Amino acid sequence: MNNYSISNIDIGIIIGYFFVVLFIGFIFSRKKNTGKEFFLAGRSLGWAAIGFSLFASNISSATIIGLSGQAYRSGISVSNYEWMATLLLVVMTIFFIPFYIRSKISTMPEFLEKRYSRFTRKYVSMITILLTVIVDTAAGLFAGGIVLQLFFPDLVIWQTYLIITLMAGTYTATGGLRAVVFTDILQAVIILLGGSIMLFSVLGQFDFSWAKAVASVPESHMSLIQPLDDKTLPWLGTLIGVPILGFYYWSTSQIICQRILGARDLNNARWGALLGGFLKLTVLFLLVIPGLFATSLFPNLANSDLVFAEMVVNLLPVGVIGIVLAGLIAAIMSSLDSALNASSALIVMDFIQPSRPELSPEKIGKIGRITTFSLMVFAALWAPIISNFEGIFDYLQKVLSFIIPPIATVFFMGVFWSRGNSKGANYTLLFGHLICIVTGCLHLNDWTGGIHFTILAGILTFICIGIYIAASLSGEISDMKYLKDLTWKYRKQEETFRESIWYTDFRFLSAILVGLTFCLVFLFW
């Protein structure tokens, strides 16, 4: 493995960035952090803070390194996860956010308790905590550790993980969601700036000629839609699998929805989600395209996940390297702080607080801080296991494909089918996860006939829907009064949109976002 040198100027920029982030975290740590304040920022977040935080939380170091590495191997089809996210954010904005905001829930599993039962809430909360730590947190640590070790070879890998978690965990555990969101704003700007610089630098190697850059890569690598036998992402997987993975992440995961739950009102929640969608459209150009064009600049890399590091050290001048590496560190910390705060919220609000209602808000906040520190240590210990997978992005998507179908089913069907009940939900979770885990084990041993994991995710979701319907129909019909504003059929009628400025209407903004997404897909079909 190559080691890359880094100048004192770049090191100074990175250190300066660390101090700025910690200063922001310190400012918000001085605010009295009771339970609601610590986990939901006092339900006072505005749309801009929500949108930038959604983007920063999603663009982890695993995303930066994984997307560029996957694009280097197989082209831009990996970006299907990104443009699909914009459509799913529109779906969440229109259909799900009103239920979440009006029900005044503090965690996403709490919505399932209102809709189904306490068992459903605790089961999904437990699975979500596990996924957040071993997928989001650990993958971000692992990806960031790989690149940072290249520039600082004397770092021992476990020490690298520990340092990163301590940095992110310090302001997360002291400042809560408010500190997370406002550091995310800075980190989103750094990520966007670093990605723009990288794209500019890569195109500069082709005399800023788009046609020349495109001609340097295989024609099939410039297409989003790939044949059914494609090993990276076949068109059927994009159609039936990617939406399932995206729906879980953008509409039901605590990491994302915690920002929505912290919104000051319904409108700000919707605008924030849509801003996150607009920012997601930049990912193809800022993260995927540079990795793709790097195939002709750095051919035959033994590990494609290192293409990001190759571009940094070979294409960027002194000073700019520091900015881009600060962007990478920003991605590490923004994903870590979000995952740690979300997991802590689930543990405290879904398990500790319900069993100990006498706890004061101040005590809840203290428990949240202790839980956050404990989780970051566990994530640092888990991160090295990821090296057993083919690539970082491969790890992320495969784990999710065989875990989330039952959870996505109980959320989606719970909102859109009022006949669904707790029996349907609990049978789906228990038997659905058993089927998913068996299928995942078979797939990892190549015993599923070469069917792509995204296609399997779609098939497993259809099986879970079948279990949900059959079990619900065999159970009792739910009392309609308990379904009020928890299902689409028994939803409250929204007030007429009163904004006098037409372009602030979420329906207009949603239409623009959908239109831009379809234009992007059409251009790179």
CA dist 459 → 1, 80, 241, 259, 273 (Å):
40, 19, 8, 31, 28
Among residues 56, 44, 351, 297, the alpha carbon closest in space to that of 178 is found at 44
Amino acid letter, residue 13: I
Provide the percentage of residues in the chain whose pLDDT is more than 70.
79
Query: Which residues, in sequence order, are CB contacts of 292 under 8 Å at separation 6+?
Result: 71, 72, 75, 76, 217, 221, 222
- Residue numbers of the domain that contains 89: 8-384
d(CA 197, CA 408): 37
Q: Is 280 inside a domain boundary?
A: yes
Residue-wise pLDDT for 275-296, tens only, equals 999 999 999 999 899 999 999 8
Q: Average per-residue pLDDT in the chain?
A: 82
Please report the sign of the dihedral spanned by the C-alpha atoms of residue 116, residue 121, residue 122, residue 127.
positive
Residue-wise pLDDT for 363-401, tens only, equals 766 676 677 667 766 666 666 655 555 555 566 677 788
* The pLDDT of residue 361: 65
pTM of the prediction?
0.86
Q: Is 443 inside a domain boundary?
A: no
Number of neighbouring beta carbons within 10 Å of residue 208: 10
Crossing angle for the helix pair 61-74 and 138-151, to the nearest 10 degrees: 80
Query: Which residues, in sequence order, are CB contacts of 356 under 8 Å at separation 6+?
Result: none
Residue entry with tokens 């739910």: 478
The DSSP-derived string for 358-378 is: T--HHHHHHHHHHHHHHHHHH
Q: Is 503 inside a domain boundary?
A: no
d(CA 203, CA 217): 13
344: domain CATH number?
A: 1.20.1730.10
Q: Is 255 inside a domain boundary?
A: yes
Q: Is 431 inside a domain boundary?
A: no
Q: How many domains does the chain have?
A: 1
* The pLDDT of residue 393: 59
Among residues 435, 481, 480, the alpha carbon closest in space to that of 460 is found at 435
d(CA 195, CA 290): 9
Q: How confident is the model at residue 408 (pLDDT cuts 50, 70, 90)?
A: very high
